[in-house]
């Protein structure tokens, strides 16, 4: 399949026309174009440098955003494990199997209530 335009021929013609146009420019115009080119390159370098700094700041910001919740979670875990829960001792199996006098059951209930009351005072609820 052949195209209507020969790309090499078109490219040569375009290059020739641009070269002729470039040759017809004054020295002042060539100097202005050169200065504009230098400014564009300087701006491109500055933009690239700013993008790199922005990427570094973004990485740092993400780590700070992650560090705060992790620190709070660790602190809560330490505080929760620091408060030890005092449990009421289990009722001996012998008492469960046989007949338990009511005085001993009342004594165990009083012990359980006293332990609960002491725990509430320690937590600061009461």
CB burial string 5-17: b at 16+ within 10 A, e below = eeeeeeeeeeeee
pTM above 0.85, yes or no: no
CA distance 123 to 126: 8
The C-alpha atoms of residue 81 and residue 74 are separated, in whole angstroms, by 11
Q: pLDDT tens digits for 58-79?
A: 666 666 777 777 778 887 777 7
Annotated domain spans of the chain: 20-83, 85-126
pLDDT tens track for 76-120: 777 766 555 666 667 666 666 666 667 777 888 888 888 888 888
């Amino acid at each position: 399949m052949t195209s209507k335009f020969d790309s090499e021929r078109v490219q040569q013609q375009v290059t020739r026309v641009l070269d002729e146009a470039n040759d017809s420019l004054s020295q002042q115009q060539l100097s202005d174009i050169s200065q504009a080119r230098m400014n564009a390159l300087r701006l491109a370098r500055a933009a690239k440098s700013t993008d790199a700094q922005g990427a570094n700041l973004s990485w740092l910001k993400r780590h700070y955003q992650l560090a705060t919740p992790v620190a709070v979670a660790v602190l809560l875990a330490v505080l929760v494990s620091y408060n030890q829960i005092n449990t009421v001792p289990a009722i001996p199996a012998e008492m469960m199997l046989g007949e338990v006098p009511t005085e001993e059951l009342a004594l165990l209930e009083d012990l359980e209530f006293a332990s609960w009351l002491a725990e509430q005072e320690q937590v600061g609820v009461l």
